[in-house]
């Protein structure tokens, strides 16, 4: 919404939320999320054509277009628990829009939703005897965290799904006008509603599938002395395959991949496409396997016991340039290391507050330390889980000197210079390549 406000001075954008705390933060100097480049852009539009408010009912009434961007978490209870999407927030929002609308509106699905959710939205919006007309569009978001600004300002594509009716097409054109303020026309794709809804899930499923595919090959590389980075380069130069999203790691995280794939699996099961469901579910299984494999590699390398050993954990966010830790592999990995009775010293430039919350209640000894060198002091090993660029710039000779020997480093992202670390004296365990050890 900030980018829309920046690019479209002729529109007034108001972001509403039921959380007063969040709205207050959006109106303050300390925004509630960290995203590179966002703060400057919020500040340049806030108070001019970008507003943050808790006056939801009034803002619904005043709006011509409403972007529904509420969370759609995985259901944790009842039918479909663990896979299906919990639609309660979408339904509550639809009812609130219906109750507070006195003029016709375009309602845009921004949240990631199961296919055919627009049908439910329309049914709720048009129920009762309100004469107001609602046109529902699907306009899924493809930006990724950490690169949100460039993804929005220079998107690969904008997808808009609508009904193939005169009013559906008119609404679609109104939404297209907004994006045409800065996105070249050829990057705007229009489809029917259901294709648009399904494309969002499928895009994330394909991206996650690439990560699981390369992670599965990483395990084969480790036992055959192949090098997964070389394999990624060799296959990625085939233009049919492409080079991006082929970095092996400790497993994918984030609020979307697991949730969206499980939603796709649930939909396939619902339509009794059991083979298709099993195919996509395997992407998640390989991810679980990859996180567990990372822990086992640490355990095996460190003589099959971690009891009382100190491990510095470098990075907790699910990826660099964000403080977001939702479904971060670090959560699973740290809990497992604590099960093995390791003592953890966790460091991350932006995610320590979230890390504290994520590990609340986990049994064992955990410290949260801002300075990575301090976190590594006296440690038996370093587990690098998030590839923050600052971890490349550290003085590893100095770090090595302060650590217990033999000193181990488990580079879960193949982020560091392994040969240099080995020459310093570290026993180095990358992902998907043979270890370099002095043992």
Question: Could you write out the DSSP letters of every residue in 341-395?
Answer: T-EEEEE-SS-HHHHHHHTTT--S-EEE-S-HHHHHTT-SEEEE-S--GGGGSS-
Smallest distance, ligand UGA to C-beta of residue 112, A: 6
Is the CB of 256 or the CB of 286 nearer to ligand UGA? 256
Give the count of alpha carbons within 13 A of 140, CB side only. 29
Q: Are 393 and 360 in contact (CB under 8 A)?
A: no
Smallest distance, ligand UGA to C-beta of residue 169, A: 26
Residues 184-213 as x/- pattern, contact with ligand UGA by CB under 6 A: --------------------x--x---x--
Give the count of alpha carbons within 13 A of 431, CB side only. 31
Gap between the Cα atoms of 251 and 432, Å rounded: 12
Q: Using the rule CB under 6 A, which residue among 155, 168, 249, 349 binds ligand UGA?
A: 249
Smallest distance, ligand UGA to C-beta of residue 143, A: 5
The verdict on 253 binding ligand UGA (CB under 6 A) reads: yes
Residues 211-240 as x/- pattern, contact with ligand UGA by CB under 6 A: x-----------------------------
Smallest distance, ligand UGA to C-beta of residue 77, A: 23
Nearest alpha-carbon partner for 334 in 303, 295, 373: 295
Is the CB of 112 or the CB of 347 nearer to ligand UGA? 112
Enter the tokens of residue 139: 């306009």
| From 8, 59, 221, 256, active-site residue | 256
The verdict on 319 binding ligand UGA (CB under 6 A) reads: yes
Q: Which stretch binds ligand UGA (CB under 6 A): 24-32, 42-50, 249-257, 298-306?
A: 249-257
Nearest alpha-carbon partner for 346 in 324, 375, 321, 374: 375
Enter the tokens of residue 49: 């054509």
> Active site includes 256?
yes
Gap between the Cα atoms of 34 and 16, Å rounded: 19
Q: Which of residues 99-128 bind ligand UGA (CB under 6 A)?
A: 112
Smallest distance, ligand UGA to C-beta of residue 431, A: 9
So which residues are the catalytic ones? 256
């Amino acid at each position: 919404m900030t980018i829309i406000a920046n690019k479209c001075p002729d529109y007034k954008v108001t972001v509403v939320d039921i959380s007063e705390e969040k709205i207050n933060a959006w109106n303050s100097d300390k925004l509630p999320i960290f995203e590179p480049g966002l703060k400057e852009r919020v500040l340049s539009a806030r108070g001019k054509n970008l507003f943050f408010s808790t006056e939801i009912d009034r803002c619904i009434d005043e709006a011509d277009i409403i972007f529904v961007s509420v969370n759609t978490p995985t259901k944790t209870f009842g039918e479909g628990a663990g896979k299906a999407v919990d639609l309660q927030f979408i339904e509550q929002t639809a009812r609130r829009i219906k109750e507070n609308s006195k003029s016709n509106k375009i309602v845009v699905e921004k949240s990631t939703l199961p296919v055919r959710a627009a049908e439910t939205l329309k049914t709720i919006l048009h129920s009762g005897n309100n004469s107001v007309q609602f046109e529902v569009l699907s306009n899924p978001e493809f930006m990724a965290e950490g690169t949100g600004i460039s993804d929005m300002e220079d998107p690969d594509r904008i997808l808009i799904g609508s009904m193939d009716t005169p009013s559906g097409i008119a609404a679609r054109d109104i939404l297209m006008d907004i994006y045409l303020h800065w996105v070249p026309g050829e990057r705007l794709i229009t489809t029917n509603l259901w294709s648009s809804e399904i494309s969002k899930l499928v895009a994330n499923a394909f991206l996650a599938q690439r990560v699981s595919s390369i992670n599965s090959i990483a395990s084969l590389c480790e036992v055959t002395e192949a090098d997964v980075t070389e394999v990624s380069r060799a296959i990625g130069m085939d233009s049919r395959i492409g080079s991006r999203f082929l970095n092996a790691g400790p497993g994918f995280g984030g609020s979307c991949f697991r949730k969206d794939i499980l939603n796709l699996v649930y939909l396939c099961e619902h339509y009794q496409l059991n083979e298709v469901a099993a195919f996509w579910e395997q992407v998640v299984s390989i991810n679980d396997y990859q996180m567990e494999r990372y822990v086992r590699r640490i355990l095996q390398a460190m003589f099959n016991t971690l009891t009382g050993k100190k491990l510095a954990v470098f990075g907790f966010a699910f990826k660099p340039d964000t403080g977001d830790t939702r479904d971060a592999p670090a959560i699973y990995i740290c809990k497992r290391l604590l099960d093995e009775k390791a003592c953890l010293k966790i460091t991350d430039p932006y995610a320590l507050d979230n890390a504290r919350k994520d590990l609340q209640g986990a049994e064992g000894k955990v410290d949260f330390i801002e300075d990575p060198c301090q976190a590594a002091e006296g440690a038996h090993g370093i587990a690098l889980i998030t590839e923050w660029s600052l971890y490349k710039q550290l003085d590893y000779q100095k770090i090595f000197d302060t650590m217990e020997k033999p000193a181990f480093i488990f580079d879960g992202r193949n982020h560091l210079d392994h040969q240099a670390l080995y020459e310093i004296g570290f026993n180095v365990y990358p992902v998907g390549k043979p270890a370099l050890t002095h043992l």
